[in-house]
Amino acid sequence: MSPSAAGSSVRVPFADFGSAYAARRKEIDAAVARVIASGSFILGPEVEAFEGAFSRFLGVDHVIGCGNGTDAIALMLLAAGAGPDDEVVVPANACVPVAAGVRLSGARLRLADVDAGTLTLDPEAVDRAAGPRTRFVLAVHLYGGVADLDGLQAVAERRGLTLLEDCAQSHGAAWKGCRTGSFGAAAAFSFYPTKNLGAFGDGGAVATRDPEIARRLRSLRQYGWSRRDFAETEGRNSRLDELQAAILGAKLPALEEDNARRRAVAAFYDEALADLPLTLLSTRPGSVSAAHLYPVRSGRRDAVRETLEGAGVETGIHYPTPLHLQPAYAFLGHRRGDFPVSEQAAETVLSLPLHPRLTGPQVEAVVSGIRGFFGAA
Ligand SMILES: *Cc1c(COP(=O)(O)O)cnc(C)c1O
């Protein structure tokens, strides 16, 4: 069987919004109609209801909706007290919004490398990167996998740093029985449409146990108001709107089941690709992944990608350029070679299609496309 023949009859899109909508259509349509009929579009009952439902889902006391995940990172840092002299350690292997969110808060970036198994922050690298101005560590649960929370918490304690989480790719992931988003002093979420819990537009939130951080966030997201038309502090406008909140509330009950389907697809890939010359992502023992993305690593990444494309299988690259090699952050003064694990990841990662409504034939088309490439059909 040739690689193209293997998948030629089945198209495998990277994401599938149509079937995701179809699966919850009644609930979503009702939610949208309810908001339009209410005439209340900003910070009303839908946002409050979703904040409550999501906080119960996470097992934290407070969830504060905001405009998007990048703002969630910035607002979380500001509410946690980050100032312009404070450094925040983030992984070099991450998407641009991680760095953008930190910079939007006014704080300084400090990059550290990731571990080769999970491609999330390596606590030893954080320890080496931390200096006298470092005050925060941002654990990014990339690809849906849980970062080394025990290791990062230990470094944070030893060095007097505050641990924060970026859960934009880990809605529903868990570590030792608790959800990601409940470990740090606060956690940022994105509801960008492609995330495991996605809105039909932009959306974000911060989760926290700390009532003072929650209070500051509610003020910062709305002009710095402490009450209507009275600014206690300089704020901005970054609100989750009622339509998106209602849609998210309609989709939240399906998140666990969707994540379980994602994990089943990932487990199938794990087994079907185990004997190939590919590096698969490791899952931290004791963790439950949200299986947001399924990156494999290959020195022949671009050729694998082309072959899959020819077989009708869409893939992605998460992420092609590590943060220290992004022109926008050249001022940090890093060079190629500074974060070798992140650089190697950027050169070799390829994300296979992974979403809850992939069909059996689609998943098999992905596998046979790759096996065909390596002559292992
Ligand atoms: C998507 C994402 C963000 C940013 O979210 P937006 O809502 O697009 O601003 C931040 N961090 C990570 C890890 C993400 O995947």
Read off the CATH number of the domain in which 232 is found: 3.40.640.10
163 membership: H or E segment, kind and range: strand 162-166
The pLDDT of residue 55 is 98
Q: Rounded to whole angstroms, how far apart are CA atoms 166 and 192?
A: 14
Task: Output the residue whose Cα is nearest ligand 1's atom 5.
Answer: 69
Ligand 1 centroid, distance to 97 Cα (angstroms): 6
Task: Let me know whether 32 and 132 are in one domain.
Answer: yes
Residues 6+ apart with CB under 8 A from 18: none
- Give the number of the atom of ligand 1 that is nearest the alpha carbon of residue 191: 7
Do residue 317 and residue 241 come from a single domain? no
Residue reference for tokens 């970062």 = 147
For residue 1, being part of any structural domain is answered with no
200: exposed, middle or buried (Cβ count in 10 Å: 0-12, 13-18, 19+)? middle
**Ligand 1 center from residue 18 Cα (angstroms):** 22
The residues, ordered by sequence, that sit 6+ positions from 29 with a Cβ below 8 Å of its Cβ are: none
Q: What is the pLDDT of residue 66?
A: 98
Q: Whose CA is nearest to atom 6 of ligand 1?
A: 69
Atom of ligand 1 nearest to the CA of 141: 13
Q: Are residues 270 and 175 in the same domain?
A: no
In a shared domain, residues 27 and 91 = yes
The preferred substitution site among 88, 98, 140 for testing ligand 1, maximizing ligand atoms within 8 Å of CB, is 98
pLDDT at position 227, please? 96
User: Do 284 and 247 belong to one domain?
Assistant: no
Q: How far is the CA of 350 from the centre of ligand 1 (A)?
A: 19
Q: Measuring CA to CA, which residue among 95, 89, 141, 152 is closest to residue 119? A: 141
Residue 134 token pair = 């470092």
Three-class secondary structure of residue 1 per DSSP: coil
CA distance 304 to 287: 30
Instruction: Write out the chain's pLDDT in tens, 377 residues.
Output: 444 444 457 999 999 888 889 999 999 999 999 999 999 999 999 999 999 999 999 999 999 999 999 999 999 999 999 999 999 999 999 999 999 999 999 999 999 999 999 999 999 999 999 999 999 999 999 999 999 999 999 999 999 999 999 999 999 999 999 999 999 999 999 999 999 999 999 999 999 999 999 999 999 999 999 999 999 999 999 999 999 999 999 999 999 999 999 999 999 999 999 999 999 999 999 999 999 999 999 999 999 999 999 999 999 999 999 999 999 999 999 999 999 999 999 999 999 999 999 999 999 999 999 999 999 86
- Is 365 among the domain residues? yes
Q: Give distance in angstroms: CA of 366 to centre of ligand 1.
A: 26
Ligand 1 centroid distance, CA of 98 (Å): 7
Residue 101 CA: which ligand 1 atom is closest? 10
- Of all protein residues, whose CA lies closest to atom 7 belonging to ligand 1? 69
User: Looking at the structure, do residues 271 and 239 belong to the same domain, yes or no?
Assistant: no
Looking at the fold, whether 113 and 141 belong to one and the same domain comes out as: yes
Minimal-distance CA residue to ligand 1 atom 12: 168
| pLDDT value at residue 101 | 98
Q: Which mutation among 192, 196, 239 tests ligand 1's pocket best, with the greatest number of atoms within 8 A of CB? A: 192
Task: Give the range of the structural domain holding residue 287, as residue numbers without chain letter.
Answer: 255-373
pLDDT at 8: 55
Atom of ligand 1 nearest to the CA of 70: 9
345 with 93: CB under 8 angstroms? yes
CA of 299 to the centre of ligand 1 (A): 27
Assigned domain for 142 exists: yes
**Structural domains in the chain (count):** 2
pLDDT for 20 equals 85
Could you say which of 253, 276, 306 is where a domain stops? 253
In a domain, 9, yes or no: no
Angle at 8 between CA 7 and CA 13, to 5 degrees: 70
Whether residue 83 is found in the same domain as residue 203: yes
Q: Is the residue at 92 inside a domain?
A: yes
Kindly state the helix (H) or strand (E) to which residue 62 belongs, with its residue range.
strand 62-66
The answer to whether residue 13 is domain-embedded is no
The rounded Å distance from CA 101 to ligand 1 centre is: 9
CATH code at 299?
Answer: 3.90.1150.10
Atom of ligand 1 nearest to the CA of 192: 7
Contact 101, 236 (CB under 8 A): no
The ligand 1 atom at the shortest distance from the C-alpha of residue 190 is 7
Nearest residue (by CA) to ligand 1, atom 14, is 168
pLDDT at 132: 97
Q: How far apart are the first and last CA of the chain?
A: 7
Q: Is 207 helix (H, G, I), strand (E, B) or coil?
A: strand
* 349 token code pair: 């990662």
Q: How far is CA 2 from CA 145, 371, 377, in A?
A: 34, 10, 8
